[in-house]
Chains A and B, each alone.
Chain A
């Protein structure tokens, strides 16, 4: 438990620091940056990925095996986070093709988010404790 808390604290601190420096430094740097993101951001992102992966393993190792199916459908709904990228692709009006591809992406990701959360909840509702039933 303490280990888990520590991992989360470390990850979040790192996350906030990165988020903070990004938000502080990004706007002034914007005019000179053209296509490529700054070289440091790849490493920032790698740190975040690695830390989040370890947090994930720690947290998921504690998930009750009874709930492994809901876990899959929950992480599936969460992976609908591609919606965030899809929304920009659909709304940025780069070209008609891009907008249509973006539209399909939004639809696919929304299917996951809406369907995934609804079915996870439907499953979790079924898990009851003993005293709930009598004879």
Chain B
């Protein structure tokens, strides 16, 4: 009877998880959805606590206490700009749990006799995916937090080392399936998994992080799902598969938005890395420096304004002051909207969260496909800390690393204001000719300071 009750609890949990993700289709229903997911988790935990194999509770309770003590403050105090790091870090936590459960389960199975090949395959996937997700996520965290150099770290023969490591590990895994009692090999496989995680994230640069973070999200889910196979638990399989599908979907979406294949993101950095200075030095082009006052003057008569935010906005923490400028312009009668490129920032949806934090209503945050045709009849575009996503050479310059990437049509607008620190090319190392366009007004400086100036100017005009 208890067994059926537990299964029922797991079943309800699985249904609630699916419904909760469905509720994320609109911001209006999303919070209700999260409530369902929380309820689902509660059902699953109650089900697990009723398991007949549990004989003592002190370790479990201590784990709950410690996990809450770490997780809750992190959720409450983490600034929104640190969200990519936090997500990367939490993938490491989830995967760590999967690896440890795998180790415990494996050792327990050994005491009962020789584990079956099916069990070994499941547990092997579990610890491998888990281990590489742990170190991969920690590397991603380090890069996003700038503890490690964000630029790709490459060395000669890197791909050979990685491929060798990968196939070596795969071979070991295959051997282990048929020789389950070789415990040392089991642990060696975990160590190799940890090494793979470091190796695959090391050569990946900051701007490719949206793909990596999504991919690790997928791996964390697959590790959870493999745990479900190993301990024969359906709710783990389902929840893990949902998570895996989500990460997979997002990484495809991100790769597509950068016009790059998975393989290119993962292995592309090796040997490439063109010196960015070379392109800029050969052609000496000049731009006129404008002041925030000039920019404000231009905005005064604008009927329609589109704001294009990029990673620079996140770095300068300029979302609040940007939203204030947007508000003032709206109040003065302009139609103000925001154009969000899928890979702007360091993770999927990064810009949306920051602008939501600054109280920008989500109805004016528009995806690339929905706003791209409107640039042509827009008076002013304000580009805040974005570069590659508005670089027109992506359309026609065949030798450009950006070629083929869908971009925001900022160059089609009547006037363009670009807030930037310097003329430095974006992550792709490609000079942006939009900066030299006669319609473009370059305003150099820290985005937050420039925007503060502009807001003061607009306020003065309104008061006068």
Given A23-B3, A88-B54, A111-B90, A81 and B241 touching (CB < 8 A)? no
Contact bitstring B83-117, A, C-beta under 8 A = 1, else 0: 10011001101101110110111011101111110
7 A–B contact pairs at CB < 8 A?
Answer: A48-B234, A55-B18, A74-B33, A85-B105, A107-B66, A116-B75, A127-B27
The chain B residues found within 8 Å of chain A, CB to CB, are 3-4, 7, 10-11, 13-15, 17-18, 20-22, 24-28, 30-31, 33-34, 37-38, 40-41, 44-45, 47-49, 51, 53-57, 59-60, 62-64, 66-68, 70-72, 74-76, 78, 80, 83, 86-87, 90-91, 93-94, 96-98, 100-101, 103-105, 107-109, 111-116, 118-119, 122, 213-214, 217, 220-221, 223-225, 227-229, 231-250, 327, 330-331, 340, 342, 347-350, 352-353, 356-357, 359, 361-365, 367
Q: Is the CB of B239 within 8 A of A78?
A: yes
Distance in angstroms between the alpha carbons of A87 and B41 in the assembled complex: 13
Q: Is the CB of A45 within 8 A of B331?
A: no
Interface size on A, residues (CB 8 A): 102
Minimum CB distance partner of B26 in chain A: A64
Task: For the complex formed, measure the closest distance between the CB of B299 and the CB atoms of chain A, giving whole angstroms.
Answer: 17
Q: Which residues of A contact B229 (CB under 8 A)?
A: 42, 45, 49
Q: Which residues of A contact B64 (CB under 8 A)?
A: 106-107, 110
Minimum CB distance partner of B254 in chain A: A68
Minimum CB distance partner of B111 in chain A: A94
Q: Which residues of B contact A19 (CB under 8 A)?
A: 7, 10-11, 234
Q: Is the CB of B93 within 8 A of A89?
A: no
Q: Is the CB of B90 within 8 A of A75?
A: no
Main secondary structure, interface of B, reads helix
Q: Is the CB of A91 within 8 A of B60?
A: yes
Q: Is the CB of A76 within 8 A of B243?
A: yes
Interface residues of A in 79-135 (CB under 8 A from B): 79-95, 97-130, 132-133, 135
Task: List 14 other contacts, CB 8 Å, given A60-B250, A65-B340, A74-B20.
Answer: A15-B238, A42-B118, A63-B25, A71-B348, A83-B48, A88-B231, A89-B104, A93-B55, A99-B59, A103-B66, A111-B93, A112-B97, A121-B31, A127-B27
Contact bitstring A40-60, B, C-beta under 8 A = 1, else 0: 011001001110111111011
Q: Which residues of A contact B17 (CB under 8 A)?
A: 78
A6 within 8 A of B: no
A37 within 8 A of B: yes
Q: Which residues of B contact A61 (CB under 8 A)?
A: 249
Q: Is the CB of B112 within 8 A of A34?
A: yes
A56, A91, A113, A135: residue with the most chain B Cβ atoms closer than 10 Å:
A56
Minimum CB distance partner of B13 in chain A: A81
Q: Which residues of A contact B340 (CB under 8 A)?
A: 65-66
